[in-house]
Structure 1
Amino acid sequence: MGHAVLAAALVGAGAALASATEPVRGRLPAGWPRLPADRVWLDEDALGRWRDRGWWTPLVIAALCLGVVLFLWWAAGRLRSGRLRELALGRADVTLSGAALASAVAERARAVRGVADARVVLLGRSARLRVRVTVTLASDGVPGAVLGALAREALAEVRGVAAPRGVEAEVRVASSRSRRGWLSGRGRVR
C-alpha cells in the first residue's frame, strides 16, 4: 500500500512538472490543470542568495548522498528478501528455518527414483511461499515420472508444512547426459 501511494505521488509530481513544459502543454486536453509556463521555481537572485550561505552546498550534497544511500539500502533489502528466512508454524511462536526446510526438501528430492542431484531454494514471504527445485536426472530418469514423484512426495511435504498457505512450485529438470538443454515445468502444488 505504501509503495503504491509513493509511486502515485511521484507520478503526479512528474506529471505536474511536465505540464509546465511547452511540448507537454500542447498535448494536454483543454480541461486538465497546468502549471503556468512562465513559472520560475528558483530565479537567479534567489539561487545566488542560497549559494552565498556557506552551509547550503554541503547540505545539498549531503542530502543527495543520504538519498542515494537510502535507495541502495532499500534496493539491497528488496533483493535479499527473495529468499525465505523462516516460516512460522501453526499458531504458536514456532518457526522453521527456510534453509533447513530447503535442505530437507532437497534430500527428499534426491531420494526420488531417477534423480541424480537436486537443489532447492525457498522464495517469497511466509504468507506466499514459492519453491524452486532444480533437478538433474540420472541416466535412467524419465522427466514425467520424476515430476510426478516430486509432486507426490517432496512438494507434498512442503505443502503440509506450509498449510494453510498456498505453495507455488517451479521445477527445472536437466539431464545428466546433456547439460545444454533444460526442460522446465511450472505448477501450483495443490
Structure 2
Amino acid sequence: MLRTVNRVLLALAGLVLLVLGGSVLAVGLGAPPPSWWMHDGRHDVLLDAGDRTRWRDAGWFWPVVIGALALLVLLTLWWLAAQLRRRRLAEVLVETGDGEGALLRGRALENAMAGEAETRDGVERARVVLTGRRGRPRARADLALQPHAAPADALHRFSAETLAHARDSAGLASLPATVRLRGVKHRARRVS
C-alpha cells in the first residue's frame, strides 16, 4: 500500500513539475502566454524591483526564504536517494571455482531458506530477505513460532542448519543474519 501511494505521489509531482517547467520554457522561447499566466512575456522576471524591495526592512525575510528553499532541496534529494536505493538483493554471486562465478537469483535463495525454515518443528511461517552486496549478502529472517516452540531451539536450528545450507549451496564464505522471532497468536477453544 505504501509503495503504491509513494509511486502515485512521485508521478503527480513529476507531472506537475514537467507541466510547469515546460510552460516556463515555452514562454521563454517566445510562445504567447495564456491570460492566466503569472508572467506577461518572455522578458518578464520572476521578482520585479517592487517585490524584491518590499521586504527590505525585515532583515530576516530573505535568509528565511533561502533557508527554507535549501531545506526543501535537501529533503527532496534525500527522498530521491531513498527511492533509488534497492532494499532487496536481486542476485547473489556464487563461487564456481573457475574464477568467473555465476549469479543466483536472490528471491530463489530467499524462498529456499524460508521453505526450509518452515519445515522445522515449531516454525509456522518464515520470511527471509537478502540485503547487502551480491558478493557479501546479509539475511534478515522473521520466524513466526508456534506456541509450543522453544525460541532458543528454533534460533539454533535456523543458524546451524538453514543458514549453513544456504551458505554452502551458494559457495559463500559467510552469510551473516539477523533473526527476529515472534510468537503466533492462537485463539483458545472454549471447553464446556
Normalising to structure 1: TM-score of the pair?
A: 0.52
Tell me if the contact between 1:114 and 1:142 (Cα under 8 Å) persists in the aligned partners: yes
Say which SS state the counterpart of residue 156 (structure 1) adopts. Answer: helix
- What RMSD over aligned residues (CA atoms) do the two structures have, in Å? 3.1
Give the equivalent residue in structure 2 for 1:97: 105
Which of 119, 122, 127 is the aligned partner of 1:114?
122
Identity of aligned residues (%): 32
Give the equivalent residue in structure 2 for 1:123: 131
Q: Does 1:166 align with 2:174?
A: yes
Structure 1 residue ranges (4+ consecutive) displaced by more than 6 angstroms after TM superposition: 66-71
- Structure 2 CA distance, aligned partners of 1:166 and 1:54? 64
Q: Does 1:74 align with 2:110?
A: no
Say which SS state the counterpart of residue 185 (structure 2) adopts. Answer: coil
- Structure 2 CA distance, aligned partners of 1:166 and 1:82? 20
Question: Please, which runs of 5 or more residues in structure 1 have no aligned partner?
Answer: 1-52, 58-63, 179-190
Give the equivalent residue in structure 2 for 1:87: 92
Give the equivalent residue in structure 2 for 1:143: 151
Give the equivalent residue in structure 2 for 1:3: none
Return the letter of the residue paired with 1:125. Answer: R
Equivalent positions of 1:41-80 (< 5 A) are: 54=43, 72-78=79-85
- Structure with the larger strand share: 1
Return the letter of the residue paired with 1:74. Answer: A
Using the TM superposition, give the Cα deviation of residue 71 of structure 1 relative to its aligned residue in structure 2, in angstroms.
Answer: 6.3
Question: Please, which runs of 5 or more residues in structure 2 have no aligned partner?
Answer: 1-41, 47-69, 187-192
Using the TM superposition, give the Cα deviation of residue 109 of structure 1 relative to its aligned residue in structure 2, in angstroms.
Answer: 0.4
- Structure 1 CA distance, aligned partners of 2:167 and 2:88? 17
Equivalent positions of 1:176-187 (< 5 A) are: 176-177=184-185
Tell me if the contact between 1:129 and 1:165 (Cα under 8 Å) persists in the aligned partners: no
- Structure 2 CA distance, aligned partners of 1:140 and 1:68? 47
Using the TM superposition, give the Cα deviation of residue 117 of structure 1 relative to its aligned residue in structure 2, in angstroms.
Answer: 0.9
- Structure 2 CA distance, aligned partners of 1:56 and 1:149? 70
- Structure 2 CA distance, aligned partners of 1:56 and 1:70? 27
Normalising to structure 2: TM-score of the pair?
A: 0.52
